[in-house]
Chain A
């Protein structure tokens, strides 16, 4: 019996790095020199992009609808905050612990999330996030409640770069972590594991028939997404040296979903671009008119759902296709 090895070259080609991607990653370097005064906004953007990436892994690739992804972001943020507050201020250690804590909770809750339909998933993820929010809100002696966690003291990154007043270290640190984790995510979604996730999203019933353990795969990706969100939360704590209660809040989960959909889910760059568009728009529109920017946000969301379901990335792809033909 001989089995011919399947031809993997199309998949390999799809997974190869392309020129536009390399150009994209020059943007953060350019931004550093072009907007030296907005470094803190740019760091926030990198952190939120990482958070959006984590949602993209579970929503865009595996199709798990979550309205409570802020739970893991908040866990990572508080974990890193406590660690630094009680003397272990090494940033990389903080990231690792943030990821670990979020991953453990993600692993446990994945068994709740995998039950039931989309609606049940929405409600359970939401419920878990709200429980954590209430817990953090009420345990004021540990978390500071609505006042936030103060006294976060960070050490130097790899013992060399201290966090400075201008946010230079914070910026390169956030971008660096984002880039490393992006490369990892890129590797994951192009691996056989990533392909099986897409298969599950497209047809849950058929995947077991070709030998893919659906629940195991979903648990794995949910845990991974939670760990990513935990790292993003830890990054936010470390770069701002403060944990505010709203890391766990419902609007954070909801806005995250908007960013992802705005950029186009199921494409890693969609998460990054959606976050950039969203945060730049937020920055300028709320400067113009702080109260009513939500209106435009809502309007854009309705339009995206009705007319541009694949977000900015989808539109760009369509235009490229139209240009070629």
Chain B
């Protein structure tokens, strides 16, 4: 039971970070390998606010998200925008470049050491239930993850903004013809994706750690989630994250010698079985 619970919490954390990538990669069709860099930015903002300015955690984490979102707006306006029409290969190379710069910059400003944070008291400790020890922070992550998943599903699926976004992605020219400000929608969406990354990065410090190598260390997991979940699909990302979290934790528990091998096997098998992802929009494009 504890394994399942920990797996769910790990999966939820994965979801928190990768749902942002699901927005940029999935909805906007931009292979943004620099996603981890935004997550790292959010994490550093949160860690510094906590440690140096004594800002409470519940404010510092959203602050991380906001800074990451602002950075997203700036980069989108100046650089990313030029590459919307480019091939996936160009986008990959470009965002790897951004990643390398972010890693060096983090190194320069914050040093190579791990950033540690102290969680507030009410998020620490465990709740004892019969047969199950529930870490409070993990429960907190699961609640936040579910809330975000529902919120995003609603935002993309049922609001005017969501409808405009889907229109802008599927056919930018027609959307422009209908008077939708496609550029603005894309900027906002990119900011949303980066902000979610920042939030995930801030919430993830406790479990994943935070050091300058963060963007490359975890990018593989984020990409797996999006690729397996099917692009542009929040429900798919959620289920894929939870599955990967479960497989990863269970794999490490039952087969420690196999290590991370398990999730790669799961990914490749899933991609072979469903190249479009679990809930891919196979008919689109």
Q: Name A's B-contacting residues (CB within 8 A).
A: 59, 65, 67, 112, 115-120, 122-124, 126-128, 130-131, 134-135, 137-138, 250-251, 254, 257-258, 261, 291-295, 297-302, 304-306, 309
Contact = CB atoms under 8 A, between A and B. Distances in A.
Contacts, number: 127
Interface string B81-123: 0110011111011101111111111011000000000000000
Contact of A130 (B82, B107, B260): B260
B99 A298 contact: yes
Nearest to A131: B264
A302 B78 CA distance: 12
Contact of A138 (B87, B216, B259, B265): B259
Nearest to B82: A306
B88 A119 contact: yes
A301 B100 contact: yes
A300 B101 CA distance: 10
B267 interface: yes
B136 interface: no
Contact of A258 (B25, B93, B103, B272): B93
B218 to A, nearest CB: 12
B66 interface: no
A294 B79 CA distance: 19
A58 to B, nearest CB: 12
Nearest to A59: B89
A137 B259 contact: yes
B264 A130 contact: yes
A131 B265 contact: yes
Contacts of A300: 97
A150 B23 CA distance: 46
B96 A301 contact: yes
B150 interface: no
Q: Classify chain B: how many residues form its interface, as a range.
A: 35 or more
A301 B92 CA distance: 10
Interface in B42-94: 79, 82-83, 86-90, 92-94
A120 B275 contact: yes
B127 interface: no
Given A250-B216, A302-B94, A302-B98, A120 B271 contact: yes
Contacts of A298: 96-104
Interface of B: 25, 31, 79, 82-83, 86-90, 92-94, 96-105, 107-108, 216, 220, 223-224, 227, 231, 257-261, 264-265, 267-268, 271-272, 275-276
Contacts of B103: 294, 298
17 contacts: A65-B89, A116-B276, A117-B275, A118-B31, A118-B87, A127-B271, A134-B264, A138-B258, A251-B216, A261-B93, A294-B101, A294-B103, A295-B104, A297-B97, A299-B101, A301-B97, A306-B82
Contact of A131 (B89, B90, B100, B268): B268
Most buried by A among B87, B99, B100, B268: B100
Contacts of A251: 216
A293 B104 CA distance: 8
B82 A294 contact: no
Given A123-B224, A124-B271, A127-B267, A254 B96 contact: yes
A138 B94 contact: no
Given A119-B31, A127-B271, A298-B98, A292 B93 contact: no
Contacts of A302: 79, 94, 97-98, 101
A257 B91 CA distance: 13
B271 A257 contact: no
A134 B88 contact: no
Contacts of B223: 122-123, 126
